[in-house]
Amino acid sequence: MTHAVVTEDSLTGALDRLVDRVRGAEFAVVLSPDGLPLGRSRQVQAKLAEEISGIVAGLLALGLAATRTCDAGALRQIVVQMSRAFLFVATISNGTILTVRISGDEVEVGDMAYEVALFVGQAERHLPIRLETAAAARSGDSGAQRRLR
């Protein structure tokens, strides 16, 4: 069985389509489990992707602390509401993290929440490799045994 090869262009295209489908969506970024930018929509420069990765790392730390304290299962999504924008952060089953920003007077928060959930549910099409954190990689697994999904 062969698996699709994921290229930066295909991930960028998927993120662009996500942003294009919702009014007010400005950008989308996918981060590795360790917070490194893996892909970004066309509106995002490398510097902004790096800044977003730092913000998301802090949000995820707070979210994970909340899940431990509340004993309510795995962290799925964080939504930050600001006076002029929303930031959606969603965890993907393969370890990656999707971040999307929407803003404006006529934002469709419900539509964006739906599109984020849809992207997360279909992420294997865009990110078929199961990524692990650096801690897992340091445990001695060279990665040669990992399979494409």
CB 109 within 8 A of CB 120: no
Rounded Cα–Cα distance for residues 31 and 95 (Å): 9
| 69 domain residue, yes or no | yes
Nearest one of 102, 72, 71 to 88, comparing CA atoms: 102
| 89 domain residue, yes or no | yes
Specify the pLDDT at position 8: 54
Rounded Cα–Cα distance for residues 44 and 39 (Å): 10
Rounded Cα–Cα distance for residues 14 and 37 (Å): 15
| 80 domain residue, yes or no | yes
Domain coverage including residue 104: 8-133
Domain count, the chain: 1
Cα–chain center distance at 49:
12
| 140 domain residue, yes or no | no
Query: What's the whole-model pTM score?
Result: 0.77
Per-residue pLDDT 10s for the chain (149 aa) are 333 344 456 888 989 999 999 888 999 999 988 888 989 999 899 999 999 999 999 999 999 999 999 998 888 899 999 999 999 999 888 888 999 999 988 788 888 889 898 988 887 676 655 444 445 444 444 443 333 33
Residue 102 is inside which H or E element, if any? strand 97-103
| 3 domain residue, yes or no | no
Specify the pLDDT at position 138: 46
- Read out DSSP for 68-84? HHHT-----EEEEE-SS
| 33 domain residue, yes or no | yes
